[in-house]
Amino acid sequence: MEAIDFIKQIMWDYATDKAHKNYIVKYRDGSRKTLRTFWSACGRVAYFGKRMRNRGYPIDDFRFKDVVSVTRIESRGCPLSLFVKHMKDAVKILNDSGLWQDIREEIEGVLSMGEEVHQKIYDAINSGDSYTNFYKECCENGKFPFIKTHQIYYSFCKRKCWKSIAYLRWERKYYNEFFRGIIKEHKSYSMRWKNGYDNTLAVRSDEDGRIRGWYCEEYVGCANGHYYLLFDATHAIYIEDD
């Protein structure tokens, strides 16, 4: 495969769908790499560098002159039934923990709207430039103004919906119970530790009587990373990278 053919193939994939795509790229020396690509702000296909989430490098014939084949990795999104199950699981987890009752009420409202609405939400997330389309439908007077926390619905659409808290192995049992107690008693508490990332877990009891929680994994020494909402002492759900 010539580099120009490699570029043409990826450009063809992006012709009607600007959502992020992943590929397995094979090189002349027999090595294989996963290439995470995206449509850049300047109107070109680019790829994320290692540990990059919101910037990268242009795809050009110099960088990929030794490519011999490229295979697109198909999306591993879940079926509609699992999407709905994840919403139901979220309601149960939030009912049991007492965290994020405003989000629980929102999800319960979505569940009550029935299969037709569930299908429309699911389709909006999984078609076209999914992030832009779904964001507009939720936040810019679109079809789903009742969805205020739109980020979590992307996670409901993934087979692996939940993020476990990366406590140190020998402390996991203790802190699972510790934070269950903090949440149950509506206390405010935060903790930081290192475990591959700079990890932070925080619970806050607000004046309105609601209790909320957050979890993040930031690159060591850098205030950027992966951010989640805490749904109970052991489950979090992704909201954004920074």
**Rounded Cα–Cα distance for residues 54 and 38 (Å):** 9
Model pLDDT, residue 188: 95
Model pLDDT, residue 127: 67
Whether residue 190 contacts residue 205, with contact meaning beta carbons closer than 8 Å, is answered with no
| Domain end (from 42, 73, 104) | 73
Sheet strand arrangement including 163-164: 163-164, 235-241, 225-230, 211-218, 198-205, 189-194
Q: Are residues 192 and 107 in the same domain?
A: yes
Q: Are residues 11 and 104 in the same domain?
A: no
Strand ranges for the chain from DSSP E: 21-27, 32-39, 45-48, 56-58, 67-73, 163-164, 189-194, 198-205, 211-218, 225-230, 235-241
**Rounded Cα–Cα distance for residues 85 and 142 (Å):** 25
In the chain, the number of structural domains is: 2
Per-residue pLDDT of the chain (242 residues; tens, 9 = 90+): 666 777 777 877 776 566 678 888 888 888 888 888 887 777 778 888 877 766 788 888 777 888 888 887 765 566 888 899 999 999 999 999 999 999 999 999 999 999 999 999 988 887 655 556 788 889 888 899 999 999 999 899 888 899 999 999 899 999 999 999 999 999 999 999 998 889 999 999 988 889 999 999 998 888 788 899 999 999 999 998 87
Q: Which residues are within 8 A (CB) of 180 and not within 5 positions of it... i.e. 6 or more apart?
A: 232, 233
**What are the structure tokens assigned to 115, written together?**
């299969």
Model pLDDT, residue 192: 95
Query: Nearest-5° angle of CA 235, CA 225, CA 232?
Result: 15
**What are the structure tokens assigned to 165, written together?**
């808290």
pLDDT tens sequence across 218-227: 988 887 888 9
Model pLDDT, residue 77: 60
The closest alpha carbon to 215, from 195, 239, 196, belongs to: 239
Q: How many CB atoms lie within 10 A of CB 87?
A: 20
Q: Are residues 20 and 62 in the same domain?
A: yes
| Domain end (from 22, 42, 73) | 73
**Rounded Cα–Cα distance for residues 154 and 14 (Å):** 21
| Domain end (from 21, 38, 73) | 73
**What are the structure tokens assigned to 85, written together?**
């199950």
Q: Are residues 231 and 154 in the same domain?
A: yes
pLDDT tens sequence across 186-207: 999 999 999 888 999 999 998 8
Model pLDDT, residue 76: 58
Global pTM value: 0.69
**Residue 196 — left, alpha, or beta (φ > 0 → left; ψ -120 to 50 → alpha)?**
left
Q: Look up the domain containing 184 and give its range.
A: 80-241
Q: Are residues 147 and 180 in the same domain?
A: yes
